Structure 1
């Protein structure tokens, strides 16, 4: 009797954060189901977690419609490779992580081939393009959400869903349960090892895609230079994902570090929107958010967006905790002035923002997200007739 092939899972992550979260889930699947074979697209962390990668993040890093069109032939070739691999490796479970442009198309292909689909970190249909909810209902066995309000919204569209908490809590959980403590005045070390009189390092987080960095970094760096001119005791650091070249940041004139190091060292931050705002909030880093995109994309997007803020911190807290500057409203002068109100430990704006971060932490659930996702994945792999969430509470 021929033994049944070891179960195969394909994990699809299109950005640095997805690579990190996908690696955590891969490790948990391997721990619970050692015989599983893992394939995917992602980055170095998924590599290290034992995922056999067929494409890297640099092949997927795009922003805006014109850039997508330019690289469309390459994307189509990659999709064909993945569909073939679904067949040649008998992939039983497709596990997409966010990145809906590619992952929703692959979910459709997997579903048509009779494979199970577990979507982790749901596309943000609550912000725009609610039609994606119908695709999730049609093409996914289950959708796992990481923001507290998403599960109820998707359930209204008939999507089988479950809130698993936010994966960032796994990395930022502190024994006392509070927002992570920041370096206190006088305790810091400036870039290059030079002691800082204040310990105040300002982090700049312009994004994880090359196009985002080119769009956001010039104005972020100009705001930093304005602050540096008024506060000689400040130091600055730019968060650079490992798949983007150092040369992309050279003109800014500030040193770079990985996002986690930059987060840990920052007293305050100027950041693009996105998941990074939750990371900073959970680490207790007060922030100002700025975002720009191409004028065509902005004109389309502003007509589609259905939420009062693009900042996840504000949406989770249901309050304007963090100031945001969008498109033409993002200027170096405005961003620098908003950051200036957060520089001093006892500043009212800083203390009020930190209180808002506590609300965010409480609403994001409990640590252990990767374990819960792996439980869903294994339940779908081992129980072909399963349609609903595992009996164990999530």
Structure 2
């Protein structure tokens, strides 16, 4: 069968690659066309455009690149028609993918969604568009499954691919290998994951860099995002003595004592790996964003760890509260308070029990092929 897949971010590239591996193992005639990244390219040829050329975040960035975004929609439409796939599979990235779903539906192509957009957090009204343009949803979080069932929409929970990758598939460096390869000294590590987009890094990294100066007995290491040039990190780390490691974020978390993490997939990864963390979220609009959160967000937390457990198991610091003083206060607890750390470890174990992660990509591919039969 022919599979047309769209992943617009680094995490989608990873999940798309694992899904493609599952599809190839079950469908020997599988062929692919896709918007994705290096990991998907390692599974199969057929890339149309790299996600790095599609990642526009924030109002100003979107406005300044409207022409490019419009050309990407036209390109997707043309490629779908030329490829004539058996199914279009969309991975998160809702601003782009929901419009592509409408295009695919117009021409009568079957459309599936793997990795749900976060409509359970805000823009719940998008469920109408999903019902109209997407034939089936494959979810990876238990509370997502409950959300769609509440709306009487066909959904299948396939387990969590992040758990699958990090607990069952990952090949880990030893601590000695990781330290030596990345020229680290013997001090324990605090990982800094400032996000995968330029605007996130600009807002969060200066705060993280300033906090690092209070802990001379620890070394602070940035997990570099694949789409970001090192020069950007150097610009915003404000002269602090912080190393940068690219392509080793999971090993960085594995060998870190603690982590300060931008809200998103990395927070879930830290939880699965077992690294005590603080989760930060800071966007444009300042204090207004706090007001808008209260008005429009449908969820009590923004960290996936806390959403899965339905309580604040790891500390969340939002918007104007995300400053040097508050991040330092919480990092003091992570570093000094052993009972506080143990509570987090216990919470992570509880979270893993809720996430049925083994063979998630394989199960998703099986369900997709079954739905196409």
TM-score with structure 1 setting the length: 0.87
- Mean Cα displacement is larger for which, 276-285 or 205-214? 205-214
- Partner SS state of residue 125, structure 1: coil
Provide the C-alpha distance between the structure 2 equivalents of 1:207 and 1:143, rounded to a whole number of angstroms.
Answer: 27
Provide the C-alpha distance between the structure 1 equivalents of 2:329 and 2:284, rounded to a whole number of angstroms.
Answer: 25
- Partner SS state of residue 173, structure 1: helix
**Residue ranges of structure 2 left out of the alignment (5+ in a row):** none
235, 249, 260: which is aligned to 2:233?
249
Q: Partner of 2:318 in structure 1? A: 326
- Report how far residue 244 of structure 1 moved: 1.2
**Residue ranges of structure 1 left out of the alignment (5+ in a row):** 1-6, 176-180, 384-394
- Report how far residue 189 of structure 1 moved: 3.9
- Report how far residue 348 of structure 1 moved: 1.2
1:205-354 mapped onto 2 (5 Å cutoff): 205-226=193-214, 228=215, 232-251=216-235, 252=237, 253=240, 254-257=242-245, 258=247, 259-295=249-285, 298=289, 300-344=292-336, 347-354=338-345
50, 64, 68: which is aligned to 2:58?
64
- Partner SS state of residue 260, structure 1: helix
Provide the C-alpha distance between the structure 2 equivalents of 1:369 and 1:53, rounded to a whole number of angstroms.
Answer: 23
- Partner SS state of residue 343, structure 1: helix
- Report how far residue 123 of structure 1 moved: 1.2
1:63-82 mapped onto 2 (5 Å cutoff): 63-82=57-76
Q: Partner of 1:131 in structure 2? A: 125
Seen in structure 2, the aligned counterparts of structure 1 residues 33 and 92 have a Cα distance that, compared at 3 Å, is same
Seen in structure 2, the aligned counterparts of structure 1 residues 74 and 195 have a Cα distance that, compared at 3 Å, is closer
- Partner SS state of residue 67, structure 1: helix
Q: Partner of 1:107 in structure 2? A: 101
Q: Partner of 1:390 in structure 2? A: none
Seen in structure 2, the aligned counterparts of structure 1 residues 34 and 123 have a Cα distance that, compared at 3 Å, is same
Q: Partner of 2:44 in structure 1? A: 50
Provide the C-alpha distance between the structure 1 equivalents of 2:270 and 2:303, rounded to a whole number of angstroms.
Answer: 12
- Report how far residue 264 of structure 1 moved: 2.2
Provide the C-alpha distance between the structure 1 equivalents of 2:54 and 2:223, rounded to a whole number of angstroms.
Answer: 19
- Report how far residue 378 of structure 1 moved: 1.7
Provide the C-alpha distance between the structure 2 equivalents of 1:194 and 1:82, rounded to a whole number of angstroms.
Answer: 44
Seen in structure 2, the aligned counterparts of structure 1 residues 182 and 304 have a Cα distance that, compared at 3 Å, is farther
Matched, 1:371 2:365: no
Q: Partner of 1:361 in structure 2? A: 352
Provide the C-alpha distance between the structure 1 equivalents of 2:75 and 2:356, rounded to a whole number of angstroms.
Answer: 37
- Report how far residue 262 of structure 1 moved: 2.0
- The number of aligned residues is 364
- Partner SS state of residue 69, structure 1: helix
Provide the C-alpha distance between the structure 1 equivalents of 2:43 and 2:128, rounded to a whole number of angstroms.
Answer: 33
Contact 1:167/1:370 (8 A) holds in 2: yes
16, 24, 45: which is aligned to 1:30?
24
- Report how far residue 303 of structure 1 moved: 2.3
Contact 2:178/2:251 (8 A) holds in 1: no
Provide the C-alpha distance between the structure 2 equivalents of 1:243 and 1:120, rounded to a whole number of angstroms.
Answer: 22
- Flag the structure with higher helix content: 2
Seen in structure 2, the aligned counterparts of structure 1 residues 194 and 76 have a Cα distance that, compared at 3 Å, is closer
Deviating above 3 A after TM superposition, structure 1's stretches of 4 or more consecutive aligned residues are 181-184, 186-195, 299-302
Seen in structure 2, the aligned counterparts of structure 1 residues 362 and 51 have a Cα distance that, compared at 3 Å, is farther
Contact 1:183/1:267 (8 A) holds in 2: no
Provide the C-alpha distance between the structure 2 equivalents of 1:83 and 1:182, rounded to a whole number of angstroms.
Answer: 42
TM-score with structure 2 setting the length: 0.91
Question: Could you list the per-position Cα deviations for residues 205-261 of structure 1 after superposition, in whole angstroms to 9, with x for gaps in the alignment?
Answer: 1111122112211111112223x2xxx220111111222111111131422123223
Provide the C-alpha distance between the structure 1 equivalents of 2:272 and 2:119, rounded to a whole number of angstroms.
Answer: 24
- Partner SS state of residue 259, structure 2: strand
- Partner SS state of residue 334, structure 2: coil
Matched, 1:203 2:197: no
Contact 2:33/2:83 (8 A) holds in 1: no
